[in-house]
Chains A and B, each alone.
Chain A
Amino acid sequence: MLFESIRMSFVNIRKNKLRSLLTMLGIVIGVASVIALITIVRGAADDIGNRVISLGGKKIYINVIGTPLKQGLTHNDAEEILSVGNITGISPTVSGMASVVYQGKVLENVVVEGKNEVYFKADPDLLASGRAVNILDLKSRNQVAVIGFNIARELFFGRNPIGEEIIINGMTYTVIGTLKETTGFRPDSTNDAVIIPYTTALRVLGVKYIKTLDAYLEDTSLADQTIMEIKGILNRAFNYNEDAYNVYNMGDIIDSFQSIMSMMSMLLAGIAAISLVVGGIGIMNMMLVSVSERTTEIGLRKALGATPFAIRLQFITESIFLSVTGGIIGLIMGVLLAYILAAVIGISVSVSLSTNLLAVGFSAAVGIVFGYMPAGKASRLNPIDALKSL
């Protein structure tokens, strides 16, 4: 009998193609927007999340404000932090502004950052060409530079910059590598930066102290304990002035970032779900029209022995059939829309099975909820009145 109901639903929907299509449209739009929104927001969140994790999931970020007497960390302080048990490496950053010159072309106010080899090892995906800053460069304070994407384009447009010599604040540096273009929104974009060994930077940028330092963790589960130890070192370095520095666990930042993103996507999906409810009302409306149109049919079926339950089942099935068909069309459109939008924005798409099942399940639920009342009305029709109505 269930199979029969499904077949009848199909027959009836095919008979009223235009009407069924218009009715389904509400569900289609609702499901499509829920899927597209969730997929895109999740894709963006994954993208940013992955990037942050690849860069700093196992990273503790130390930012030093300093005291009037001691404006930052010294090389020895950094070495002490490196000696903490759970730390595999540290990457200090000293930065300043400088002018960069190549064959008469001058770029003013370029960010020059002094970094060490750990920075490059932590993210092997940084380099576009050439080599990274290595330990030898650091030890002998070589005058070498790795240049950002925009800098390479502006100074060397079309030419290979590797091996060329550029002048930074009056001193000659050899370009040893170029960085990949960083896309999307990220605060640590290196497109407009020049990176030199940090030992060299300490000497030439006129900076004596390290202001920021990344410490890489061996085991993230011990992060809290490691942070305590680092704070101990910093307290001693800054005479127990806790306002002189900030220590962030990137893992915590990622966690809170991800929870904000999932809240955002739930909120957006909730708004889109309103259109599903509107679509459901459309289905209810169509089912009510259908019941009054088919009064005779209902009467006849009852006369032939259809129980009220059988009639109710048939109309509920029809309503579910409509809403689930709409849901599946909406699902396909939503995924397509997500792919198109993602291609335009430039993020990756993550289509999750659970979201899709949820959307189709939700549209089935809409069918049940909004089909219940019309189906009940049909099942309560008196067969005599129904047969008389012809």
Chain B
Amino acid sequence: MSEIVSMKNICKSYYLCDEEIKVLKHINLKVYKGEFISVLGPSGSGKTTLMNIIGCLDVPTSGKYILCGNDISEMNETELAVIRNKEIGFVFQSFFLLPRLTALQNVELPLVYSGLPQKERRGRAKEMLCRVGLADKMNNLPSQLSGGQQQRVAIARALVTEPSIILADEPTGALDQKTGADIIGYFERLNAEGRTIIMITHDINVARHAHRTVNILDGQLTEARA
């Protein structure tokens, strides 16, 4: 199996009033193609920072991170943006749909930055919305959709660029029990189709759906068996 994520000795520190705060301490993580892995940890454990680094939103203070064969540690902002666009599909806890754009336009957004012509963009975005079961809601604004529907739009947006990883940060955090279960069901189905999914959560019941769970506590990873 090919490695998608390969992290070696990743450290991340922040400075607060000249005091060094070590958020991540020597993280080693490998994620293979087709895996469904969850990162489980309480708040303040460093799991969001880890997600930011996996998602190329941030660069580590030290260590080596290779994503799909690209060394992230040395990249500048523009190169990181291109990698994010190509390789990563984000699903956020609070959806982060742009309120003034329709569902379809929201799904199109990553393709705008890929530089695809509009016709092709529209076609691919429509296809994705159909696949998440929102064919009849394409021209609705996010405010006209329920939480679960909004998260499905966000998933369609994450999938539309055919990324190497789906990176989900507490994807069920803002949803009720039943809708949350539906969304997890979606992820399981996507994984069955062969997609690599990394899910970050503090909820062990959610984490259980993944094939593999790693625990993060005080900036250190431990492999756990569910």
Q: Which of A1, A4, A12, A306 contacts B81 (CB 8 A)?
A: A306
**Distance to closest chain A CB from B215 (angstroms):** 23
A3 to chain B, nearest CB (A): 8
Chain A proximity mask over B47-76: 1 for CB below 8 Å, otherwise 0: 000001001011000000000000000000
Cα-based distance from A384 to B114 in the complex (angstroms): 21
Instruction: State whether B113 touches A300 (Cβ < 8 A).
Output: no
Using Cβ atoms and an 8 Å threshold, which residues of chain B touch A282?
A: none
Contact A308/B57 with A1-B112, A4-B112, A301-B109 known, Cβ cut-off 8 Å? no
B94 touches A390 (CB 8 A): yes
Given A303-B55, A303-B90, A309-B78: A297 touches B98 (CB 8 Å cut-off): yes
User: A1-B115, A384-B57 are contacts. A304–B109 as well, Cβ < 8 Å?
Assistant: yes
B92: shortest Cβ distance to chain A, in Å? 7
Q: Tell me whether B84 is interfacial, beta carbon within 8 Å.
A: yes
- Report if B77 contacts A (CB, 8 A): yes
Check A261 for interface membership: any CB of B closer than 8 A: no
Cα A309 to Cα B82 with chains together (Å): 12
Interface flag for B137 (CB, 8 Å): no
Q: Are A308 and B81 in contact (CB under 8 A)?
A: yes
CA distance A302 to B118 in the complex (A): 20
Partner of A305, one of B58, B86, B100, B118: B86
* A12–B100 alpha-carbon span in the complex (Å): 8
Count of chain B residues with Cβ under 8 Å from any Cβ of A? 27
Q: Does A11 contact B (CB under 8 A)?
A: yes
Given the complex of chains A and B, what is the CA–CA distance between A307 and B56 in angstroms? 13
A305 to B110, CA, bound (A): 6
Chain B residues with CB below 8 A from A387, complex form: 57, 92, 96
Whether B81 pairs with A307 at a CB distance below 8 angstroms is: yes
Residues of B near A308 (CB, < 8 A) are 77-78, 81
Tell me the complex Cα distance, A304–B90, Å: 7
- From A15, A297, A307, contact of B113 by CB (8 A): A307
Are B81 and A302 in contact, CB atoms less than 8 angstroms apart?
A: yes
In the complex the two chains form, is A305's CB within 8 Å of B114's CB? Answer: yes
Query: A4 to B118, alpha carbons, bound, how many Å?
Result: 9
Chain A neighbourhood of B52, CB < 8 A: 384
Residue of B52, B81, B84, B161 with highest tally of chain A CB at under 10 A: B81
Q: Name, among A3, A297, A300, the residue most crowded by chain B CB atoms within 10 Å (CB to CB).
A: A300
Chain A 290-322 interface mask (CB, 8 Å, partner B; 1/0): 000000110011111111111000000000000
A5-43 CB contact bits vs B (8 Å, 1 = yes)? 000000110010000000000000000000000000000
B85 contacts the other chain (CB 8 A): yes
- Give chain B residues whose Cβ lies under 8 Å from the Cβ of A11: 100-101
Any chain B CB within 8 A of the CB of A383? yes
Q: Within 8 Å CB of A383, what residues of B?
A: 57
List the B side residues contacting A307 at CB < 8 Å.
77-78, 81-82, 113
Residues in A neighbouring B58, C-beta threshold 8 A: 384
Q: A303 touching B84 by the CB < 8 A rule?
A: yes
- Of the candidates A1, A3, A305, A310, the one whose C-beta lies within 8 Å of that of B84 is A305
Q: In the complex, what residues of A have CB within 8 A of residue B115's CB?
A: 1
Interface members, chain A 110-142 (any B CB < 8 Å):
none
- Across the A-B interface, give the 5 residue pairs with the lowest CB-CB distance, nearest first: A305-B85, A305-B113, A307-B81, A304-B110, A307-B78
In the complex, besides A11-B100, A304-B84, A306-B113, 8 extra interface pairs with C-beta distance below 8 angstroms are A302-B81, A304-B90, A306-B85, A307-B113, A308-B77, A308-B78, A309-B78, A387-B96
B residues near A (Cβ < 8 Å) are 52, 55, 57-58, 77-78, 81-82, 84-86, 90, 92, 94, 96, 98, 100-101, 109-110, 112-115, 118, 157, 161
Residues of A with Cβ closer than 8 Å to B? 1, 3-4, 11-12, 15, 296-297, 300-310, 383-384, 387, 390
6 contacts between A and B (CB under 8 A): A4-B112, A11-B100, A303-B55, A304-B110, A305-B110, A306-B85
